[in-house]
Amino acid sequence: MSHDDFNFEPIRGLPEALPADEYILWQGRPNSLRLAKDAWSLNWVIGYFIALAVIRVIAVSDKMSLTSAMAQGIPFLVAGALTALILFGVATVQARSTVYTLTNKRACLRIGAALTMTLNLPYVC
């Protein structure tokens, strides 16, 4: 079944048709990876799990061989990879549902994956 949740929009990303004296200058959406890095702090999350793995390896390296100590850090790296995939998935869903529209009179932002909201920001001279 093909169903478009945004079929009620006369123009993609806009809640209503544009007035006669207004026209679209640019329309786009955010990049999924950039959104994950900037809004969801993907780099910091990955760094955190790497730091946990390194700390675990250092903590147990005096009690066992180096290869066994390195194996102790693997669960932290796996958990970090899983967390990074989840964050990237959320960022991808968010980016796919977002549309930015710039016109000669306003900026319109359709945001939200579950609860969609459109913000109209008129230009003030």
Work out whether strand 99-103 and strand 106-111 pair parallel, antiparallel, or are unpaired.
Answer: antiparallel
Interval 58-83 mean pLDDT: 95
SS (H, E, C) 20-71: CCCCEEEEECCCHHHHHHHCCCHHHHHHHHHHHHHHHHHHHCCCCCHHHHHH
Average pLDDT, the chain: 91
pTM: 0.81
- Answer yes or no: is pLDDT of 40 > 60: yes
pLDDT in tens, 71-123: 999 999 999 999 999 999 999 999 999 999 999 999 999 998 888 888 999 99
- Answer yes or no: is pLDDT of 10 > 80: no
